[in-house]
Structure 1
Amino acid sequence: MGRFAENTTVSVEKSRAEIERILERYGASQFMYGRDDLRGLATIQFQASDRQVRFILSLPNKSEDRFWKHSRGRRTPDAAEKQWEQSCRQSWRALALCIKAKLEAVESGISEFEDEFMAHIVIPSGGTVGELMRPQIEAAYELGSVPSGLAGFLPAPNESE
C-alpha cells in the first residue's frame, strides 16, 4: 500500500489554502501559518472551540538519500529537487486530510473536540499538551506505572473491581 497522496500534483500553497478554508468552514478563527526552513518545519495554528491549536509539520530534508538515490544510481540536482517537492506536497495533503477528518468527527458527534485535538492544544506555557505529555507517557512505560506527578490526574480505581 502506498502513502496517501504520494503522487499528488496539488501544490503546497493550495493545500495550505485548503486547510484555511476547511478551518473557516468548521468555525475556526485566527488562522496563522509559519515556516522555519532551517529546521524544516511548517506550523499551522488556529482557534476553535475556545482553544488554540497548533500543528507542526516536519518537512523532509533536501539532502536525504531518498531524494538523491534511485535504482539506477544518483539523481541530478533538478530530479532530486522534484522528488523533495513531491514529498512536501504529500505531507501537506496528509495534514489537510487529518485536520478535515478531525473536524468532521467532532461536527458529526463521533468525538469531542478535545479528544480529537488534545495533543495539539496550546497550553498557557506556549507548548502543546502533546509536548507536555510525551515524556510523562514515556516515563510511565519505562516505570511500568503512572509517575506520581500524574497520579492526581487519573480517576480513582473502581472499588468494585
Structure 2
Amino acid sequence: MTRFAKDTSVSVGSSKAEIERIVERYGADQFMSGWGANQAVIAFAMNGRQIRFVLAMPDRAEKRFTHHSRGARAPDAALKEWEQACRQRWRALALVIKAKLEAVESGISVFEDEFLANIVLPGGRTVGDEIRPSIEQAYLTREMTNLLPDYSKGTEP
C-alpha cells in the first residue's frame, strides 16, 4: 500500500497553514501549533471542546533516511529524505482533520465521535490518553473494567 502524499512537494508550513484555514472555515474559535523534540502539536477549540493532535515526527537518525540499498546516504540526501517524510505526515494530518470535519458537516457523524480520542479533558490529558490503557487491559484480561464504581451495595467502594 502506498502512503498518502509520499511524494508531496507541499511544505510543512503550507500544510500547517492549510489546517488552520480548514478548522477556521468549519467554525474553530481558537487555534495553535507548536513543536518540540520529535513531535508537533496542532490544537483548536470548536463546539465547546478543545482538540489536540500530537503528530509524532520521524527521527532524523533513522536508517531509512541515513542509508539506502547501496549504503550510507550523504548528509544532504539524508536530510532531504527526512524532510519528505515530515511533509508526508503533515499532509496526512491535514487530510484527516478535513475529512473528520466534513463528515460532521455532512451529517455522517457527530463532532464528539470524530474527535473523541483528541478531546482535551480538564486535566490536560486527552480522552485517548485516559482510555487507551483500559482498552489494552481489557484485551489482555478479556475482562471489561468498570467505567463507574460499584454502588450496588449502597456505599462507595
Superposition TM-score, scaled by structure 2 size: 0.93
SS at match of 1:54: strand
Two-structure CA RMSD over aligned residues (Å): 0.9
Please give the residue correspondences for 1:20-31 in structure 2 after superposition, counting only pairs within 5 Å: 20-31=20-31
Name the structure 2 match of 1:46: 44
Unaligned runs of 5+ in 2: 150-157
1:7: which partner in 2? 7
Q: Which residue of 2 aligns with 1:93?
A: 91
Q: Which runs of 4+ in 1 moved over 2 A?
A: none
**Identity between Structure 1 and Structure 2 (%):** 61
Which residues in structure 2 correspond to 1:12-161 (within 5 Å)?
12-36=12-36, 38=37, 40-148=38-146, 150=147
How far apart, in 1, do the equivalents of 2:57 and 2:144 lie? 33
CA shift, 1:72, in A, is 1.5
How far has the Cα of 1:125 moved from its partner? 0.8
The one-letter amino acid paired with 1:14 is S
Quote how far apart the aligned CAs of 1:74 are: 1.0
Query: What is the CA–CA distance in structure 1 between the aligned matches of 2:18 and 2:29, rounded to whole Å?
Result: 14
Deviations 1:66-90 (A, max 9, x none): 0011112110000000000000000
TM-score, scaled relative to structure 1: 0.90
Q: 1:151: how far off? A: 5.4
Aligned residues: 149
State the AA in 1 paired with 2:4: F
